Amino acid sequence: MSLTTRMPGSAGIGLRLPHLEEAVVTPLSVGWLEIHPENFVANPHATELLIELSGRYPISVHTVGLSVGSASGIDRHHLARVTALIDRLDPVLVSGHLAWSTHKSEYLNDLLPLPYDEQTLQLVAGQLLDVQDAIGRPFLLENPSSYVGFTGSTMTEVQFLGELVARTGARLLCDVSNVFLSGHNMGYDPVAYLDAFPASAVAELHLGGFTPEPDEATPGRDILIDTHAERVADPVWALYAHARRRFGAVPTLIEWDADIPSLSTLVEEARHADRLAQLATAHEVTDVAR
Ligand SMILES: [Fe+2]
Task: Give CA–CA dist 278/280, Å, rounded.
Answer: 6
Boundaries of domain holding 188:
12-282
**Dihedral sign, Cα of residue 197, residue 199, residue 201, residue 206:** positive
Q: How far apart are CA 40 and CA 62, in angstroms?
A: 12
pLDDT of residue 3: 62
Please tell me the distance between residue 215's alpha carbon and the centre of ligand 1 in angstroms: 23
pLDDT of residue 1: 47
The tens digit of pLDDT for each residue in 219-276 reads 889 999 999 999 999 999 999 999 999 999 999 999 999 999 999 999 999 999 999 9
Determine the pLDDT at residue 281.
Answer: 76
Tell me whether strands 33-35 and 12-14 are parallel, antiparallel or unpaired: parallel
The pLDDT score that the predictor gives to residue 9 is 78
Mean pLDDT of the chain: 92
> What separation in Å is there between the alpha carbon of 106 and the centre of ligand 1?
23
On whether residue 6 sits in a domain, the answer given is no
Distance 265 CA to ligand 1 centre (A): 18
User: pTM value?
Assistant: 0.93
Q: Average the pLDDT over 123-127 and give the result.
A: 96
CA of 130 to the centre of ligand 1 (A): 22
If you measure from the C-alpha of residue 97 to the centroid of ligand 1, how many angstroms do you get, rounded to a whole number?
8
Q: How far is the CA of 254 from the centre of ligand 1 (A)?
A: 9
Q: Any idea what DSSP says for residue 3?
A: T
Look at residue 16 and tell me whether its pLDDT is greater than 90.
yes
Residue 289 lies in a domain: no
Q: How far is the CA of 20 from the centre of ligand 1 (A)?
A: 20
Dihedral (C-alpha) 146, 149, 153, 157: value to the nearest 10 degrees? 20
**CA 96 to centroid of ligand 1, rounded, Å:** 9
In a domain, 73, yes or no: yes
Let me know if residue 4 belongs to a domain: no
Range with lowest mean pLDDT among 102-106, 172-176, 196-200: 102-106
Task: Tell me the CA–centroid distance for residue 208 and ligand 1, in Å.
Answer: 7
| Integer Cα distance of 22 and 266 in angstroms | 13
Number of domains, the chain: 1
CATH code at position 275:
3.20.20.150
Domain presence at residue 82? yes
Helices (H), the chain: 20-25, 44-54, 76-89, 118-135, 157-168, 176-186, 190-196, 234-247, 263-282
The pLDDT-based confidence of 166 (bands split at 50, 70, 90) is very high
Q: How far is the CA of 62 from the centre of ligand 1 (A)?
A: 9
Asked if the structure places residue 7 within a domain, the reply is no
**Distance from the CA of 214 to the center of ligand 1, in angstroms?**
23
Å from CA of 182 to ligand 1 middle: 12
Residue 287 three-state SS = coil
For residues 203 and 280, which has the higher predicted lDDT (pLDDT)?
203
- Under DSSP, the state recorded for 18 is G
Average pLDDT over residues 59-71: 87
pLDDT of residue 68: 83
- Within a domain: 166: yes
Question: Which stretch of DSSP H or E encloses residue 238?
Answer: helix 234-247
The rounded Å distance from CA 153 to ligand 1 centre is: 23
Which pLDDT does position 56 carry in this prediction?
95
Provide the angle, in degrees to the nearest 10, between the axes of the packed helices 76-89 and 44-54. 40
Tell me what pLDDT residue 99 has: 76
CA dist., res. 17 & res. 100, Å (int): 24
pLDDT in tens, 79-112: 999 999 999 999 999 999 997 666 666 666 677 7
Q: Tell me how far apart the alpha carbons of residues 172 and 83 are, in angstroms, rounded to a whole number.
A: 19
Q: Is residue 202 part of a domain?
A: yes
Mean pLDDT computed over 140-165: 92
